[in-house]
Amino acid sequence: MPKARTFARRSTRPTTSSKCRSANGRTSWSITTRERLEVNDVPTPPSEGATTGSKRVVVFGGGTGISASLRGIKTHTNDLTAIVTVADDGGSSGRLRKDYHMLPPGDIRNCLVALSDGDPLLGDLFNYRFEDSILRGHSFGNLFLAVLTRLTGEFRAAVEQARRLLGVRGQVIPSTDTRVVLVASHPDGTRSTGEQCISKCGKPITAMELKPPPPPISDEIAGILAEADLVLLGPGSLFTSIIPNLLVPGMADAIEACPGLVVLVANLMTQPGETDGFDLRNHVRTLKELGGLERIDHVIVNTAPVATEVRDRYREAGAEILVIPEDTTELDGTPVVPADLVTLTDEGMLRHDHERLALALLQIVVRPREESGS
């Protein structure tokens, strides 16, 4: 059985590349496997009918970032699985985790709502957050999952019941059923324990691990990845939402061995306290080095401009637009796919537009055969 691993930084070796091959030499769908995709004989733009159809899509992440991937891709596939980190220890999730000795429900709740095809009122209900009394800070959905966990005796059973109630399209699975804590090591020899502490420490991170070491990935997750046609990583917090999933023993290996594409959705902004000063190259290399994931077939990045007043407001909060080196078409052999992905919420927050993100993914998956040179 695989042993728990602690991943530390290592040097990045130069790799050879071509326009159509990833760093590990795997050929992407756009080159060799168009016959696997359910597309019309007459090529059409992705926005005019392209779809992944019955292809199996797996999305990794946590927090609110993963919602963009799920909302966008759920209408383009009949087989979608979200694999979600369970290392959250802050806010409502942290309180319920501590008080009821359960897995933190918040990130799972976000995914359930994002994938819901039920009455929109149910989604609003699950996301409703109490603002006063002893329930202050709790969301209804988190409390609902906590009660269901007590009634069913298992968190996974509670998630399944909530999935049915919300009419969820696809599956939502914790990356591990163990109540793990995320631990980060720093260059000065100190360590930060817990997501909340890590996000606030403001120190460079040289290694990460889960405590206690969880068992190897479940047969269920291993089986899903063994048949995956597309694996998406992010968007989301690099150190506290994406990498924790990869630290489960066997997870990175299973992703690397999957038969489909592995795609990273780059964040729009740096994250204060975690990725200060990071550019796109730092993000990709850190994911490979600390997450133990050597294989990334494509990176999708936003290249749409952001209004100066919005940039200034984020800068005041310690965040910067993620820098993408000019004319970048690949990073260490990994193709970079530019797209107009940014949208502004009613509250003035930058987010990935889930429909545009879905189209960007489809442009990778469903690409005219002539681009392969065949």
23-58 tens-digit pLDDT: 344 333 332 222 222 322 222 334 444 455 678 999
329, pLDDT greater than 60:
yes
Token digits for 94?
């942290």
Token digits for 190?
């100190």
Classify residue 2 as exposed, middle or buried by CB count within 10 Å of its CB (0-12, 13-18, 19+): middle
Confidence grade of residue 202 (pLDDT, cut at 50, 70, 90): confident
275, pLDDT greater than 90:
yes
What distance in Å separates the CA atoms of residue 215 and residue 177, rounded to the nearest whole number?
9
Name the amino acid, one letter, at 62: G
Name the amino acid, one letter, at 180: V
DSSP β-bridge partners for residue 264: 233, 299
13, pLDDT greater than 70:
no
- Domain ranges (residues) in the chain: 52-85+228-368
Please report the pLDDT score of residue 326 as a whole number. 75
Question: By percentage, how much of the chain surpasses pLDDT 90?
Answer: 74
Average pLDDT for 222-244? 96
CA distances to 92, 141, 290, 343 from 134, rounded to whole Å, are 12, 16, 39, 35
What distance in Å separates the CA atoms of residue 352 and residue 16, rounded to the nearest whole number?
31
Q: Are 139 and 129 spatial neighbours (Cβ–Cβ below 8 Å)?
A: yes
Poorest-pLDDT segment among 13-22, 63-72, 321-330: 13-22
Q: Which residues contact 197 (CB under 8 A, 6 or more apart)?
A: none
Please report the pLDDT score of residue 324 as a whole number. 87
Q: Where are the alpha helices (DSSP H) in 64-201?
A: 66-73, 91-100, 106-114, 120-127, 140-152, 155-166, 195-201
Q: Report whether the peptide linkage leading into residue 43 is cis, meaning its omega lies within 30 degrees of zero.
A: no
Average pLDDT for 159-180? 96
Please report the pLDDT score of residue 47 as a whole number. 41
DSSP β-bridge partners for residue 21: 18, 27
Please report the pLDDT score of residue 86 as a whole number. 97
In this structure, the chain runs to a length of 374
Confidence grade of residue 180 (pLDDT, cut at 50, 70, 90): very high
Nearest to 290 by CA among 2, 4, 6: 6
- What's the whole-model pTM score? 0.84
Poorest-pLDDT segment among 21-25, 84-88, 124-128: 21-25
End-to-end CA distance of the chain: 43
What distance in Å separates the CA atoms of residue 132 and residue 225, rounded to the nearest whole number?
43
